[in-house]
Structure 1
Amino acid sequence: LPATNEVIWFSERDDWGQLYLYDLTTGQLKSKITSGEGNVAQLRRVDETSRTIWFVGNGKERGRDPYFRQFYKIRIDGTGLTLLTPEDADHEIALAPSGQYFVDTYSKPDTPPVTVLRDLDGKTIVTLETADVSRLRATGWKPPMSITVKARDGKTDLYGLLYLPTNLDRGKKYPIVNHIYPGPQTGSVGGRGFSPARGDAQALAELGFVVVEIDGMGTPWRSKSFHDAYYGKMGDNTLPDQVAGMKELAQHYPWIDINRAGIYGHSGGGFAAADAMFRYPDFFKVGISEAGNHDQREYEDDWGERYQGLLARTPDASDSYAPEANQLLAKNLKGKLLLAHGTMDDNVPPYNTLLVVNELIKANKDFDLILLPNRTHGFGNEAYMVRRRWDYFVKYLLGAEPPREYEIGRLRPNTR
């Protein structure tokens, strides 16, 4: 703030992402601008004359999904906090170039978007657009179910999505498959807005599974202590929360067969999926690990150092990263594991997976391996990989024989 020689500073010092006002001359803290539970996610506008700021925040409205983004204004002295987006939904904000208005598009995973124009006091000027998804619903499409379960501590609420077969038979038992991304920079669910498809989770459910995504402890957008839950213990991978959440869901929904649990993920999710098969070999029966960074010593230094801490040698001639490395746990495998990696992966070097392969061979374990020639990191949505993923769960978790070499996206002629 040049006129007053002040600066607005962001900090999580009180366990939440807050804004603070500092004196640039003395470096002293003048006041705390925001307070209470919930985070400031983006500072979007500052009016030095009226001493007012506008920001995107989350987790500040009790009783709502804490991942929903909301838009607020507050005076720099910390008074007058005002919610400008009252709808219980996730809000995508676009400020007008003049700074006097904003476009607000709000939606939920099961509610299509509505776009309105508001002024900077939150007053709705006009409704610009309401999405019509009637044609989508006419195809038989159904949204995922929002869920809340307890974390490993039995107290902390975790949020996620549950995907069910369209023609769910509540008298049957369905295997449950966890689609995981452990963070720490994001979570399994992703954005909370409306989306017609979230990867192939619903497609997998239609094959006869219940598919779940849970943002466990150690992922962002909650408190700092929540985000720090497994700092220095990357092998945690939110797995205690995933297991606790899946067991709770099975207690609540009798059509979930918790004795047939699977897991899959890509990149960090690949690390977590293999980790799950090694650390919870009696719980997870089938796992698919794609492009996993299985040993942080063999991955980007800025990743391990950011979330595991600096590598330190230990008295047993090992180091602080070793307990988190998947290859050292590979001997625990009991279920069916499919490993996949692109041979030209320019993010996670392929030898991350080969380290695990080598130890599985040493331990005389059966497993499956796909190396995709000349693929880089993002092969997870390639039709061949998707089909092999579906086939693996159908065969080994559902106990059925998948159609041989089914081609996704190609309509077969009607032979009737």
Structure 2
Amino acid sequence: MGLKMDRSRLWGALVLSGLSAGVVAAPASTTKTLTTADYARAEKMISYSTVPLVDHAVGAVTWLDDTHFWYRDHDAQGDHYKVMDASGKVEPAFDQTKLAAALTKVVGKPVDAMKLGLMDFSRTADGGLDINLRGKHYLCDLKADGVCVAGKGAKAKDPNAKGGDEPGVLSPDKKTEAFIRNWNLWTRDVATGKEAQLTTDGIEDFGYATDNAGWKHTDSAILVWSPDSKQIATFQQDQRKTGEMYLVSTNVGHPKLEKWKYPLVGDENVTMIERVIIDVPSKKVVRLKMEPDQHRSTLCDDVSCGRNGGWDDVQWANDGKTLAFVSSSRDHKQAWFRIADAKTGAVRTVFDEKVATYYESGNGKVNWSYLPETNEAIWFSERNNWGNLYLYDLTTGKLKHAITTGDGNVTEVLNVDTKARTLWFRGVGRTDGVNPYYQQYWKVSLDGGAPTLLTPEAADHTISMSPDGKHFVDAYSTPTQPSTTVLRSSDDGKTVAQIAKADISRLVATGWKAPEPFTVKGRDGKTDLYGLMFKPTNFDPKKKYPIVDYVYPGPQTGSVGTRSFTPARGDHQALAELGFIVVAIDGMGTPWRSKAFHDAYFGNIIDNTLPDQVAGLKELGQKHSFIDLDRVGIWGHSGGGNATVGALFQYPDFFKVGIAESGNHDNRNYEDDWAEKWMGLEVKDKDGKSNYEDQANQKFADKLKGHLLLAHGTMDDNVPPYQTLLVVDALIKANKDFDLLLIPNARHGYGAASLYMTRKRWDYFVTNLMGGTPPKEYELKMPKD
């Protein structure tokens, strides 16, 4: 699903409810008893054990201004915070010893100078530091002895300053932040804390800038400031007729009811937005002259895709006189490029695009751009089966020409210089002989022509561009080769300075080994599919190993994840250490490849790439004698939970063991935006049968033959637990054995219970797929700070 997993929260303990399935023992030759030492060895392959052993892996930097950026450089001694300028000169970002001492006084417990754990910092106007330490802000003056105070802004210094603590959106001039209170939009002066109410007619379920996508509901404000910090583009979100979702807590005493708006597939009334522009000084609200818009995005399953908390499909003109935005139809099949007059609210539709399946504006970010200074717009389209860029005339709405052409995708436009008529973008599949998932960096003229490759290395490139666009930091790596991070010129890609080169010698000394990339054919016997294989570090090619397939079917992402280097990919290597071959395969229907590849199972979401998973696993079994295709397991979370249940129901003779975590098993019970994009709108025939009915896992529960463990958090506000209970109900009615783990008060990602779930997953595969015996109640422990 478009299911985000960064909102994991746990409110209580956990409980195990099992309907124990009889264990079919493996042949005696493969039966083994695993020890605590075996599990401890596996645990050493989890991220909290491996990440600290990678030195000088600088994957991201933060630009302080046009010519300076800071970064964290980790080694065996700890973390070093550094600043580099555009010439390559490096110096300490601050006195870490003095900062640690100052933070120790205000935090009330020792702060290690080499383990500061800073999430972010910025320099204040008076030369101090605004520190984000584990989500809390501290203002620090390191002159003299060094002093830190809790809080952000001058309000921390003045205990009499009034004002709330609602999360705010900072204006471009950093003087004002906008926030929501009681369904209305307010502003707060950063320096004084003085507040002003901008709107007055917001009411419950019809509030301004409210952030509620059904699966996501926060107190954050969704809006875009004008460049001069005087206007705000936002919306009044109408959920008055939207259906609700309910969850109840597990606790002693009366349970607490959680209720919020959660539109479902097929609902007649879903969340709508009425677009407005607010003049901040006068508090005048201009309502755009158009019908209410769908709560949709051209990129993800929310009106705001969460990149820096912004609103993706909205862009101001530099002079603040006009606002461009893109509206999407409910089924995502049509997108309209529109321009509004900020003073009058008049709206003009410049052009639109309509497609057969779903329109997307990129992969990673919205890639259209508003260029009023040249009366043009850059538009992303997959009209030639690949994601390319096109230039439109704003007056006529007509296509002028293609900016990029041919095979391969533009994934992210990172800078546009209208004066130089140049655009910089990340792209995949545009270089022959390079893995089609490796992102490289290019520049191209807005007037067309062949793009110039700025990052020639055959690797995955992560780019951070300077605010003025003259330089960029490039961290490049592969799944098997750690990162090299350099500062480059945006003009020709030449290296200005090396920032860091990752060293994995301490990691390798533990016995760690990189995953093995592989290629297999898809369901059609022709299309290349790419994956990673994880073997035990004590691998013996003469042995037969059960194989576990980790699956995330998409359609918005795949199983493999990043193609950059990472020392741990979930618990894949850890599970392999216990005596399995673990694989992840990006099947057809996942992004980054051609439009046709991505559309492979549009309208048939129960497909879940499973034909590709089966084809790929069989090919691997034919290639490698050490893979035992009589012992195939599969697991996944969220969309992967859906796919796992589908695998055991649709291919019961192939998949013997499955673990399905938090699956969206019937998308009629999921938030409307995600499923209606990938499956289409719900349609019922003359007999009342929905096109979603045959896509629901519970309908096929009677097909189960193998071992199935279902898991879900009881306070999952992304995929509500009723999704799994529908499958449970069907399995009971079909008289099938299965296992069930419910985690009380856990959200979608399980939070503090995630390590318990990981251990249960290991135990389940060891017992039911390997035919072995796990150590009793091994406890995975996250190291303390």
| Common fold by TM > 0.5 | yes
Shift in Å at residue 304 of structure 1? 1.5
Which string of whole-angstrom CA distances, capped at 9 and with x for unpartnered residues, describes residues 377-398 of structure 1? Answer: 1028711101110000000100
Corresponding residue number in structure 1 for 2:773:
401
Shift in Å at residue 335 of structure 1? 0.3
Corresponding residue number in structure 1 for 2:548:
177
Which string of whole-angstrom CA distances, capped at 9 and with x for unpartnered residues, describes residues 16-35 of structure 1? Answer: 11100111111111101101
Corresponding residue number in structure 1 for 2:626:
255
Residue 453 of structure 2 corresponds to residue 83 of structure 1: yes
SS in structure 2 opposite 1:112? coil
For 1:356 and 1:46, locate their aligned partners in 2 and report how far apart those are by CA, in whole Å: 50
Which string of whole-angstrom CA distances, capped at 9 and with x for unpartnered residues, describes residues 55-78 of structure 1? Answer: 111111122211111000111121
SS in structure 2 opposite 1:65? coil
Shift in Å at residue 325 of structure 1? 0.2
SS in structure 1 opposite 2:372? coil
Which string of whole-angstrom CA distances, capped at 9 and with x for unpartnered residues, describes residues 165-194 of structure 1? Answer: 101110010011000000111000111101
For 1:66 and 1:112, locate their aligned partners in 2 and report how far apart those are by CA, in whole Å: 19
Map 1:224-263; keep pairs closer than 5 Å.
224-263=595-634
Shift in Å at residue 410 of structure 1? 8.6
| Residue identity opposite 1:262 in structure 2 | G
Runs of 4 or more, structure 1, over 4 Å off, are: none
Question: How has the CA–CA distance of structure 1 residues 410 and 295 changed in structure 2, closer, same or farther, with 3 Å as cutoff?
Answer: closer
Mark the structure with the bigger radius of gyration: 2
For 1:108 and 1:377, locate their aligned partners in 2 and report how far apart those are by CA, in whole Å: 30
Which residue of 87, 97, 101 maps to 2:467? 97
Shift in Å at residue 125 of structure 1? 1.4
For 2:418 and 2:661, locate their aligned partners in 1 and report how far apart those are by CA, in whole Å: 50
Shift in Å at residue 127 of structure 1? 1.4
| Residue identity opposite 1:82 in structure 2 | T
| Residue identity opposite 1:392 in structure 2 | Y
Which string of whole-angstrom CA distances, capped at 9 and with x for unpartnered residues, describes residues 38-93 of structure 1? Answer: 11111111222221111111111122211111000111121141110000100000
Residue 407 of structure 2 corresponds to residue 37 of structure 1: yes
Stretch moving more, 185-194 or 308-317: 308-317
Shift in Å at residue 2 of structure 1? 2.6
Which string of whole-angstrom CA distances, capped at 9 and with x for unpartnered residues, describes residues 241-275 of structure 1? Answer: 00000011111111000111000000000000011
SS in structure 1 opposite 2:373? coil
Corresponding residue number in structure 2 for 1:9:
379
Corresponding residue number in structure 1 for 2:393:
23
| Residue identity opposite 1:53 in structure 2 | L
For 1:315 and 1:337, locate their aligned partners in 2 and report how far apart those are by CA, in whole Å: 36
Corresponding residue number in structure 2 for 1:388:
760
SS in structure 2 opposite 1:403? coil
SS in structure 1 opposite 2:656? strand
Which residue of 272, 276, 279 maps to 2:647? 276
Corresponding residue number in structure 2 for 1:414:
none
TM-score by length of 1: 0.97
Which string of whole-angstrom CA distances, capped at 9 and with x for unpartnered residues, describes residues 320-346 of structure 1? Answer: 001110000111000000001111111
TM-score by length of 2: 0.52
| Residue identity opposite 1:388 in structure 2 | K
For 1:143 and 1:241, locate their aligned partners in 2 and report how far apart those are by CA, in whole Å: 24
Which string of whole-angstrom CA distances, capped at 9 and with x for unpartnered residues, describes residues 186-232 of structure 1? Answer: 00011110101110000000000000001111111111111111010
| Residue identity opposite 1:33 in structure 2 | I
| Structure with greater contact order relative to length (CA < 8 Å, sep ≥ 6) | 2
SS in structure 2 opposite 1:3? helix
SS in structure 1 opposite 2:676? helix
Corresponding residue number in structure 1 for 2:690:
319
Calculate the aligned-residue CA RMSD, in Å: 1.2
SS in structure 1 opposite 2:566? coil
For 1:269 and 1:234, locate their aligned partners in 2 and report how far apart those are by CA, in whole Å: 12
For 2:750 and 2:659, locate their aligned partners in 1 and report how far apart those are by CA, in whole Å: 14
For 1:396 and 1:80, locate their aligned partners in 2 and report how far apart those are by CA, in whole Å: 55
| Residue identity opposite 1:243 in structure 2 | V
Corresponding residue number in structure 2 for 1:215:
586
Corresponding residue number in structure 1 for 2:557:
186
Which is helix-richer, 1 or 2? Answer: 1
For 1:4 and 1:392, locate their aligned partners in 2 and report how far apart those are by CA, in whole Å: 61
Shift in Å at residue 11 of structure 1? 0.7
For 2:766 and 2:442, locate their aligned partners in 1 and report how far apart those are by CA, in whole Å: 47
For 1:5 and 1:304, locate their aligned partners in 2 and report how far apart those are by CA, in whole Å: 36
State the number of aligned residues. 411
Which residue of 419, 441, 446 maps to 1:49? 419
Which residue of 328, 331, 345 maps to 2:702? 331
SS in structure 1 opposite 2:636? strand
Unmatched 5+ residue regions in structure 1? 412-416
